[in-house]
Amino acid sequence: MSILEFLGIAKPREGSRSERAAASAETETVRKIVTALESMDPERARFIAAFAFILCRVARADLHISTSETRLMEREVMERGGLPEEQAILIVQMAKTQNTLFGGTENFLVTREFNKIATHEQKLTLLECLFAVASDEMISTVEDNEISRICSELQLSHDEFVAVRMSYRDQRAIFKKSDPPAE
C-alpha cells in the first residue's frame, strides 16, 4: 500500500485474487491477535505494554533498532509475559512504533507507570532484559547510559545496576579492544 492509499488520497490498486486472499488472511490473523490481547486482564496488558516499550527505549537509544534487538525483545516479551509468539511479535512491533513516534515525550512517563505497577523483582528482571537486548552485538555507551537512567527512574539502587551490568562486562563497548590501525 502506498502512503497516498494509506492517507485515503489515492484509491487502492486492484491486486490479483491471490494477493487479496493473502491480505485478507493477514488481516484476519491480526484481528485474532488483537482480540486475544483485548481479552487479557487490563493490569497484565498494561504491564506487558510498558515492559515492551521500555525494552524498545534501550534498543532505540542509538536511534536504530536492529533485527537482532527486535528478536531479543520478542523473545523476552514472549517468555516474561507468557505469551504466544504471534502476540509477542505484535506487542513488540506496536511498542517499536510508539517509541519511534513518541519516545522522546513518553519514555519517562511509561517508565514511571511501570515503576508504580511492578514489584522490585519485576524491575530487576526488566533490568536484566534491558542488558540482554542491548548486548545484541555490544553494549554501546549510549545504551549503557539509557539503562542507567531507566534504573534510576525505577528507583533501583546503583549497586543493583552495577551487579547486573557486571554480568555483561564482556559485551560493553568500552571494554572492547579496537583493532590496531592499518599500516
pLDDT digit string, tens, across residues 96-108? 988 898 888 889 9
d(CA 112, CA 13): 45
Comparing CA positions, the residue from 34, 51, 181, 26 lying closest to residue 111 is 51
d(CA 183, CA 164): 39
Question: Distances from the Cα of 12 to the Cαs of 8, 22, 26, 29, in angstroms?
Answer: 9, 16, 17, 21
Per-residue pLDDT reduced to its tens digit, 123-176: 999 999 999 999 887 888 999 999 999 999 999 999 999 999 998 877 665 544
pLDDT score at 14: 59
pLDDT score at 167: 87
- The answer to whether residues 132 and 72 touch, using CB atoms and an 8 Å cutoff, is yes
Q: 14-28, 42-56, 144-158, 166-180: lowest mean pLDDT where?
A: 14-28
**Grid cell 583493532 in the structure block, residue:** 179
Q: What is the dihedral of CA 161, 164, 170, 174, to 10 degrees?
A: -10
d(CA 169, CA 49): 29
d(CA 34, CA 50): 17
Q: What percent of the chain has pLDDT over 70?
A: 74
Per-residue pLDDT reduced to its tens digit, 55-79: 999 999 999 999 999 999 999 999 9
Identify the residue with better confidence: 24 or 38.
38
pLDDT confidence bin for 7, thresholds 50/70/90 = very low
DSSP state of 10: S
3-state secondary structure of 166: helix
Per-residue pLDDT reduced to its tens digit, 109-126: 999 999 999 999 999 999
Single-letter amino acid, residue 164: V
| Furthest C-alpha separation in the chain | 63
What mean pLDDT is reported for the chain? 82
